[in-house]
Chains A and B, each alone.
Chain A
Amino acid sequence: MHSLSNRSKVVVKKEMTLTEKMYLPAILGGMLITIKHFFKRKPTIQYPEQKREFSKVYRGKHILKRDEQGRENCTACGLCAVACPAEAISIVAAERKKGEEHLYREEKYAKTYEINMLRCIFCGLCEEACPKDAVYLTEELAPANFDRSNFIFGKDKLVQPVGTSAHPKTYKPYKK
């Protein structure tokens, strides 16, 4: 039968010749291979100093977007929570009061918006489900922590800071 990869080898159980039995040529061949690797360029990326570029479609930590006037897009419709296969998102909705028009775009807004980063699988279904262009996944990594309770990200960690770029993928996360 013709093989798919053309890499399979037929196994033959024949007597080894004297040079093969001595093993030394094979050992020398192996050592030549390893010494070649000794001088090769190393592909290591030294993390804190050098960072690998993420792909364009990388899905990292979430962000809750604001519109051009700095108002929160999210209307607490809950479609993201429904779409979430890991049930990581929980929302409590509230009604916009008078004088808060500059904070929230529509009459209803998310009073709390929490994502449990321990449950989140970064599938991006929330992003797709959102009808209001509010939730996006950025290129920022979800940071490590020693305490499990710190992995529940509230609005303080998720909402886009005022005055930052409008496009989700060009958004540069702020550093603590």
Chain B
Amino acid sequence: MEIFLIDKIVLIVAVFGITLLFALYSTYAERKVAAFIQDRLGPNRAGIFGILQPLADGVKFFLKEEFIPAHADKALFILGPSVSMTTALMTSAVIPWGNSLELFDRVISLQITDLNIGILYVFAVVSIGVYGIMIGGWASNNKFSLLGALRASSQMISYEIAMGLSIIALVMTTGTLSLGEIVQQQNGSIFGISGASWNIIYQPLGFLIFMICAFAECNRTPFDLPESENELVGGYHTEYSSMKLGFFLFAEYTNMFISSAIMSSLYFGGYNFPFMDQLGLSHNLVTILGTTFLFAKIVMFIFLFMWVRWTLPRFRYDQLMRMGWKMLIPLALINIIITGLLIVVLK
């Protein structure tokens, strides 16, 4: 039991550290990708290729003036970014980061906890994340912040419905809510290639809807209306400065990392990779390779997030709402019907 606890604590600290590291370097990657797409070089002065830039940014954030507006609700004002950050980090607990390692006659699972309602847990935590933004915008006592927070919360609620509906179709095919089991099911072989029966093959439309909703949930372009600076000054974080603003921005990048991980796990086979059982490697090696593949998939999705950001312009708010309610939700419902029919026909 004690050993089990130590395992879990080590894993939690490792996942926590990796998540923060990814979020930290996502800021750098974002600037680099933005620069490359815009025919620039991007940050390249701090360290070789500018790899120390995130540290410099961090130091800058910590040294900036901490400012709380006079008419702001101080307790809530501090609570806002903390809620955002906490919820962003909490989701990583149910993601299977790898299969299992066999060390010293023990089997160590590389998942912090395999909840049998994993997906529901993710949705529950993500929906608390709205409170961070809502509280932040409300506590600022600034009408632009409040408008930004309102837009953020209505956007996130609208897109969570379509996201949930797209997941229902996936749950219908997999028959489980546990993330660990969903990933394990994608281990099956297709056309003789083991570890390649990924859910994207069975749920392409569901994946598309899920991905669009994930973009909206992370407040990434083209859905970054909560912080549209030309309409709302800065959106829900207008009044924030120093590390409190840093937390909001950091939470966005953490969310991006986590949703990339969830997209990879749900639709892109998680830690499974093609030919994984046909190479004849030892179990531990396959696990390590699998984890590497999972992180490659995550990096690919993070790159996609950034790529889209520098391609598509921001939606108008009514277009955003129309897309959520009149297009994605019906599409997700149609997807459920098609999935149901196929399951009945193929049985």
Q: Which chain A residues have a beta carbon within 8 Å of chain B's beta carbons?
A: 27, 30-31, 33-35, 37-40, 42-44, 46
Contacts and interface: CB of A to CB of B under 8 A. Distances in A.
A35 B41 CA distance: 15
Interface string B295-319: 0000000000001101110000000
Given A38-B33, A38-B37, A42-B39, 6 more contacts: A27-B311, A31-B308, A38-B36, A42-B41, A44-B40, A46-B41
16 contacts: A30-B311, A31-B308, A31-B311, A34-B37, A34-B310, A35-B37, A37-B36, A38-B36, A38-B37, A39-B36, A42-B36, A42-B39, A42-B40, A42-B41, A43-B39, A46-B44
A44 B41 contact: yes
Nearest to A43: B39
A157 B310 CA distance: 47
B307 A40 contact: no
Interface residues of B, number: 13
A29 to B, nearest CB: 10
B282 interface: no
Contacts of A33: 311
A31 B221 CA distance: 13
B38 interface: yes
Given A27-B312, A30-B312, A35 B307 contact: yes
Interface in B59-78: none
Contacts of A44: 40-41
B181 to A, nearest CB: 31
B321 to A, nearest CB: 16
Nearest to A32: B311
Contacts of B307: 31, 34-35, 38
Contacts of A40: 39
A39 B33 CA distance: 10
Contact of A37 (B39, B41, B44, B312): B39
B88 to A, nearest CB: 27
Nearest to A28: B311
Contacts of A37: 36-39
Nearest to A22: B327
Q: Chain B contact residues: over half helix, strand or loop, or mixed?
A: loop
Which one of A33, A44, A46 has the highest number of Cβ atoms from chain B below 10 Å of its Cβ?
A44
Q: Chain A contact residues: over half helix, strand or loop, or mixed?
A: helix
B38 to A, nearest CB: 7
Which one of B33, B311, B312 has the highest number of Cβ atoms from chain A below 10 Å of its Cβ?
B311
Contacts of B33: 38
5 closest Cβ pairs, A-B complex: A34-B311, A30-B311, A44-B41, A38-B36, A34-B37
Which one of A30, A31, A33, A38 has the highest number of Cβ atoms from chain B below 10 Å of its Cβ?
A38
Contacts of A39: 36
Contacts of B41: 42, 44, 46
A39 B308 CA distance: 16
Contacts of A31: 307-308, 311
A34 B37 CA distance: 6
Contacts of A35: 37, 307
A65 to B, nearest CB: 39
A40 B154 CA distance: 40
Nearest to B310: A34
A135 B94 CA distance: 76
A37 B307 CA distance: 11
A46 B37 CA distance: 18
A91 B332 CA distance: 81
Contacts of B311: 27, 30-31, 33-34
A162 to B, nearest CB: 39
A40 B40 CA distance: 10
Contacts of B310: 34
Interface string B33-63: 1001111110010000000000000000000
A46 B45 CA distance: 10
A39 B41 CA distance: 11
Interface string B142-172: 0000000000000000000000000000000
B304 to A, nearest CB: 9
A38 B303 CA distance: 12
A40 B44 CA distance: 17
A31 B312 CA distance: 8
B216 to A, nearest CB: 15
Contacts of A27: 311-312
Nearest to A37: B37
